[in-house]
Amino acid sequence: MSSPLSFARARVPALRTTMTGRDPSEGHRAATPLELLFDLCFVVAVAQAAAELHHALAEGHAGSGVVAYAMVFFAIWWAWMNFTWFASAYDTDDVLYRLLALAQIAGVLILAAGVPRAFELKDFALVTLGYVVMRLAMVGLWIRAAVEDPAGRAVARRYAIGITAVQAGWVARLALADSVGPAGFLVMVVAELAVPLWAERFRGTTWHSGHIAERYGLLTLIVLGESVLSATLAIQAGLDRGIATGKLLSVAFSGMLIVFAMWWLYFARPAHRILTSNRAAFPWGYGHYLIFASAAAVGAGLAVSADHETGQAHVGTVAASASVAVPVAVFLFSVWLVHVRPHRPGRLVDTAFLAGALLVLATPLTSVALPLIALITASLVAVGVVASRDAPS
């Protein structure tokens, strides 16, 4: 008679030692502990970028702060996204795979350490070093896939060649003058975005729609949590200074409702239903840059609003309110565009999202911007609930 332990071992799938494409219809395809660690470490860099954005906005340097934030966040998001889709298709969870994934985590921690210099000194050397470490580790994974997966060899080779070439471009960009640095950055972004389109032009990788939807959802949760933490720390700082005004409490309560509504709106519809092909997946995956970046920026904006109410920010009421309104509006529009609209939710939901984003942008012109933003986002949740009830089953 077999023991319960031997029965449990028999139920565990054998460890995959060859990197071949996984079955895209595989059942029970869930995020692994390594992927969860990957997300948590990447959010360290997100938190650094959001913190620096908070300081830049509070000091009245919105232009330079937003540009630096967009640049740093692209590096974090793109490296995360590339590993996520690769893992969905080729995860073996063996020693070599784990080591190359951990090397990418080391790279993002290097990047995180360079975020303050990027914002304050416009020095992107350390950020670039961390990024290149992540991307070259990704090249190692693609080379292994090219060697061990005959069916996907051509695709894997294109990825390895394309990523390596683009990394040389990122290093070369460091030699450009500051005046042309942003233009060079945009050129390199286009090159990065083009690599998957080129590599998977004739044959796509075998990613798993349910796994991808879960991975994106998990990062959304963590980024929203980081926003809550940023706002909480700013409010706590005000309370520690003995400042407990009604306006500060309004920031806290409104911020809580805004983040709750953002969570509800994102998770109202299952993403795996629309991830049916590369044609649907590419705009969905790429569009999440705006979703993730705006979600993290909301936390920075709430912190600026808290600083404003406690006299710590060097900006006026309109600017402080806009630091929340703009990222919330971007979040609403981007969630609607890539995450809600493909489900064909109906004219009521489509109109509500677009009108909601525009109304949020107008709230800084009022004296109660944050409560109004909370009301608008909560109203969108209500519209979605009503629409889902009225929709045919």
Asked, for residue 3, whether it belongs to a domain, the answer is no
Q: How confident is the model at residue 389 (pLDDT cuts 50, 70, 90)?
A: confident
Same domain, 85 and 195: yes
Q: Is residue 11 part of a domain?
A: no
| Average pLDDT of the chain to the nearest whole number | 90
Q: Pick the residue with more confidence: 22 or 292?
A: 292
Of residues 220, 208, 218, the one with CA closest to residue 281: 208
> Same structural domain for residues 61 and 90?
yes
pLDDT band at 242 (very low <50, low <70, confident <90, very high): low
239: containing domain: 209-390
Q: What is the pLDDT of residue 166?
A: 97
Q: Are residues 166 and 219 in the same domain?
A: no
At residue 247, the pLDDT reads 81
On whether residue 15 sits in a domain, the answer given is no
Tell me whether residue 21 is in a domain: no
How many C-beta atoms surround the C-beta of residue 327 within 10 A?
26
Asked if residue 23 is part of any domain, the answer here is: no
Q: What pLDDT is stored for residue 244 in this prediction?
A: 61
Residue 76, both tokens = 């974090």
Q: What is the pLDDT of residues 60-70, one digit of tens each?
A: 999 999 999 99
Q: Is there a contact between 220 and 271 (Cβ–Cβ < 8 Å)?
A: no
Q: Domain end: 199, 224, 247, which one?
A: 199
Q: Model confidence at 182, in pLDDT bands (50, 70, 90)?
A: confident
Examine the pLDDT at 347 and tell me if it is beyond 50.
yes
Q: What is the pLDDT of residue 4?
A: 42
Q: How far is CA 141 from the centre of its chain?
A: 22
Q: What is the mean pLDDT of residues 104-108?
A: 97
d(CA 388, CA 123): 49
For residue 300, pLDDT beyond 80: yes
- Residues 192 and 249 grouped into a single domain: no
Task: Give me the pLDDT at residue 10, please.
Answer: 36
pLDDT for 152 beyond 80: yes
User: Which domain-ending residue is among 199, 231, 253?
Assistant: 199
What is the domain count for the chain?
2
Whether residue 221 is predicted with pLDDT greater than 70 in this model: the reply is: yes
Q: Which of 13-27, 254-268, 299-313 has the highest mean pLDDT?
A: 254-268
How many other C-beta atoms can be found within 10 angstroms of the C-beta atom of residue 204? 19
Classify 201 as helix, strand or coil.
coil
Do 195 and 337 belong to one domain?
no
The region of weakest confidence among 1-15, 312-326, 373-387 is 1-15
What is the share, in percent, of the chain residues with pLDDT greater than 70? 94
- Predicted confidence band at 16 (pLDDT cuts at 50, 70, 90)? low
* Half-sphere exposure in the Cβ direction for 361 (13 Å, CA): 11
Asked if 167 and 133 touch (Cβ cutoff 8 Å), the reply is no
Residue among 377, 264, 283, 365 nearest 330 (CA): 377
Average pLDDT, stretch 348-357? Answer: 96
Q: CA triplet 282, 286, 288: central angle to 5 degrees? A: 125
Q: Residue 332: what pLDDT? A: 98
pTM: 0.91
Residue with tokens 């809580």: 256
147, two tokens:
């060697």
Task: Give pLDDT, residue 20.
Answer: 85
Place of tokens 């914002």: 119
Q: Is the pLDDT of residue 151 over 80?
A: yes
| Same domain (yes/no): 145, 218 | no
Q: Choose between 34 and 176: higher pLDDT.
A: 34
How far is residue 110's CA from residue 127's CA, in Å, rounded to a whole number?
Answer: 7
Given 199, 220, 249, the domain boundary residue is: 199
- If asked whether residues 217 and 358 sit together in one domain, one would say yes
Q: Of 66 and 313, which is predicted with more confidence? A: 66
Residue 191 sits in the same domain as residue 62: yes
